[in-house]
Amino acid sequence: MNILKIHQLHTLHTLHTLKNLAFGLVALTVVGCAQIEQGAAQGPTGRSITPSTRESYLIPPEIPPTLIDYLLENKNPESEIVAIQVERGSENLWTLRISSEAPPNRSGSELRSFLRSGDTWSEV
């Protein structure tokens, strides 16, 4: 074989290898995204006695997990909480701006305060 044929075969083999590698990376990305989506969370979801170290643009990590539990258990079942901002917070008293959406086109934001007494929360 002459050197040109060898070079052409080597180039074809390299292109074939790169194509297979690209398909493999796309497949891994798709599978990885599917697995992440199945277990994805938007941030701390409560049910924990320790503060979460995960940050979320929806739920600030400094909010006590038990307060998040209270919010999720007592939210309007027809709407979804889309964001929470801390206006004021201390160990036992939190004031939050809670933004929510409900089908078909209702959205809003309200300022709500919550007080902890022992292990329970109540809205004030």
pLDDT digits (tens, 9 = 90+) for 18-68: 566 566 666 666 655 554 444 444 444 445 455 444 445 567 888 998 998
pLDDT digits (tens, 9 = 90+) for 5-16: 665 665 665 655
pLDDT at 36: 47
Over 70: is that where the pLDDT of 112 sits?
A: yes
pLDDT digits (tens, 9 = 90+) for 66-109: 998 899 899 888 888 888 999 999 989 999 999 999 888 889 99
Residue 15: strand, helix, or coil: helix
pLDDT at 24: 64
Across 90-123, the runs of DSSP E, i.e. the strands, are 93-102, 106-117, 120-123
Task: Name the percent of the chain lying above pLDDT 70.
Answer: 53
| Residue 54: alpha-carbon gap to chain centroid | 9
User: Residue 71: what are its φ and ψ, rounded to 5°?
Assistant: -60, -45
pLDDT at 41: 44
pLDDT at 72: 87
Predicted TM-score of the model (pTM): 0.53
